[in-house]
């Protein structure tokens, strides 16, 4: 998770080369929660790419609905999460509004109980002087990220290489699975999305923005009542813009309140479809790995009879370029 442009899809591509092109999306008609199968140290994994809460195409409500639909179905289907990675660019010289909002949403979504399975990860280290990056990282750890670190989250760096992406995955892979706060609220406590901590955050943001639009419209109406005809047209245009913005926020609020039963049913159906074609998917996922370890298996076969620790099929081998 994390704001747009922090390197989420690139991170996944390091682990599953070409994945963003061949990524298996359950959600092609609804957007951007994308599941990518990969094999890490011989363990089949699903990497989940999510949109940030700053998408130019989608409102925060739409983004939250996408993510919560996925999380709800995943828990219902017993597809539990092992870890969550939050990305932040180390090249950003301060935590701006966008990053702050994304981090707020992230913490409301995860909840403190899941923090031991969270990695707070800085990216783009190749684009910053080490000393500058270190000072920023310290500031993040001392201030912004402090509560999550205190609750058990780990801070790691990703320098854009496969090795560093793998190190982060390995840190998470063997942990016990977790249920995120949003999953617990939606599935176990049967809350509506608007009642969850993440939903309330988006709702409060919307309410604040709607108040600001109403106040601005009030001011413009007062100005209009005393304005000369020469200024009146410009004021009316501004008023129309504010009205339109207020209507858009109101629609977003309605979307936040709206039930998700139809979307959840549709998503569950697709998960079921995917499961029934699961053998082929699983086979396709394992195939590159199987080809990679084949020479080891053959070598182990040839030397069978001799004691052969070397024959352990490639557990720590790196993915070769030929697998893309
Ligand atoms: N310099 C540098 N650029 C990166 C790195 N990771 C990603 N990028 C670039 O940052 C941009 C955004 O990356 P992307 O993976 O699409 O981010 P997302 O929006 O979070 O999925 C792309 O142009 C990437 O090529 C990195 O480690 N170093
Ligand atoms: Mg992306």
Q: What is the 3-state secondary structure (H, E, C) of 32-99?
A: CCEEEEEEECCEEEEEEECCCCCCCCCCHHHHHHHHHHHHHHHHHCCCCECCEEEEEECCCCCCCHHH
Radius of gyration of the chain (CA): 24
pLDDT at residue number 319: 36
Task: Give the binding-site residues of ligand 1, using a 6 Å CB cut-off.
Answer: 4-10, 123-124, 126-127, 160
Q: For the chain, give the longest Cα–Cα distance.
A: 99
Q: What is the pLDDT of residues 106-152, one digit of tens each?
A: 999 999 999 999 999 999 999 999 999 999 999 999 999 999 999 99
DSSP 141: I
Strand partners, 123: 89
Distance between CA atoms of residues 51 and 191, nearest Å:
23
Choose one of 1, 6, 7, 129 to mutate for the ligand 1 pocket test, by most ligand atoms within 8 angstroms of C-beta. 7
Going from N- to C-terminal start, the domains of the chain cover: 8-192+260-276, 195-257
Q: Is the CB of residue 119 less than 8 Å from the CB of residue 154? A: yes
The predicted-structure confidence for 188-233, as pLDDT tens digits, reads as follows: 999 999 999 999 999 999 999 999 999 999 999 999 999 898 899 9
**7 CA to middle of ligand 2, Å?**
7
Dist. CA 210–CA 252, nearest whole Å: 11
Query: What's CA 302's distance to the chain center, in Å?
Result: 46
Cα of 196 from ligand 1 centre, angstroms: 31
**Tokens 């004691």 label which residue?**
307
4 CA → ligand 2 middle, Å: 7
Under 8 Å between Cβ of 151 and 112: yes
**Nearest Cα residue to atom 9 of ligand 1:** 7
* pLDDT the model gives residue 4: 86
Kindly give the confidence (pLDDT) of every residue in the chain, 324 residues in length, as a single tens digit, with 9 standing for 90 and above: 999 889 888 899 888 765 543 334 444 333 478 888 888 888 888 999 988 888 777 899 999 999 999 999 999 999 999 999 999 999 998 888 889 999 999 999 999 999 999 999 999 999 999 999 999 999 999 999 999 999 999 999 999 999 999 999 999 999 999 999 999 999 999 999 999 999 999 999 999 999 999 999 999 999 999 989 889 999 999 999 999 999 999 999 999 999 999 999 998 888 888 777 665 555 555 555 556 656 665 676 666 544 444 433 333 333 333 333
Please report, for residues 96, 183, 226, 242, the alpha-carbon distance to residue 214 in angstroms, rounded to integers and kept in the order given.
26, 35, 19, 8
CATH of domain 8-192+260-276: 3.40.50.300
The answer to whether 119 touches 156, Cβ cutoff 8 Å, is yes
């Amino acid at each position: 998770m994390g704001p747009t442009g922090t390197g989420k899809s690139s991170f996944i591509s390091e682990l599953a080369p070409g994945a963003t092109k061949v990524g298996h999306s359950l959600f092609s008609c609804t957007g951007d929660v994308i599941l990518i199968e990969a094999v890490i140290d011989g363990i089949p994994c699903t990497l989940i790419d999510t949109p940030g809460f700053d998408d130019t195409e989608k409102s925060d409500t739409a983004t939250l609905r996408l993510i919560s639909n996925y999380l709800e179905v995943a828990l219902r289907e017993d597809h539990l999460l092992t870890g969550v990675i939050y990305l932040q660019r180390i090249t950003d010289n301060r935590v701006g509004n966008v990053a702050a909002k994304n981090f707020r949403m992230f913490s409301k979504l995860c909840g403190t109980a899941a923090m031991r399975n969270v990695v707070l990860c800085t990216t783009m280290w190749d684009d910053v002087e080490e000393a500058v990056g270190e000072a920023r990282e310290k500031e993040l750890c001392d201030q912004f990220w402090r509560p999550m670190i205190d609750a058990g989250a780990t801070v790691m760096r990703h320098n854009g290489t496969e090795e560093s992406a793998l190190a982060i995955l390995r840190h998470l892979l063997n942990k016990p699975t977790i249920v995120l706060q949003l999953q617990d609220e939606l599935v176990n406590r049967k809350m509506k999305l608007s009642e969850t901590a993440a939903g309330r955050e988006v709702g409060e943001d919307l309410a604040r923005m709607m108040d600001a639009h109403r106040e601005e419209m009030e001011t413009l109406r007062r100005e209009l009542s005393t304005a000369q005809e020469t200024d009146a047209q410009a004021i009316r245009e501004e008023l129309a813009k504010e009205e339109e913005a207020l209507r858009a926020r109101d629609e977003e609020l309605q979307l936040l309140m709206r039930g998700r039963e139809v979307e959840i049913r549709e998503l569950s159906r697709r998960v079921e479809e995917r499961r029934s074609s699961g053998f082929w998917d699983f086979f396709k996922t394992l195939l590159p790995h199987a080809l990679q370890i084949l020479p080891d298996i053959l070598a182990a076969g040839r030397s069978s009879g001799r004691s052969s620790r070397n024959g352990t099929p490639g557990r720590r081998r790196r993915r070769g370029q030929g697998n893309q």
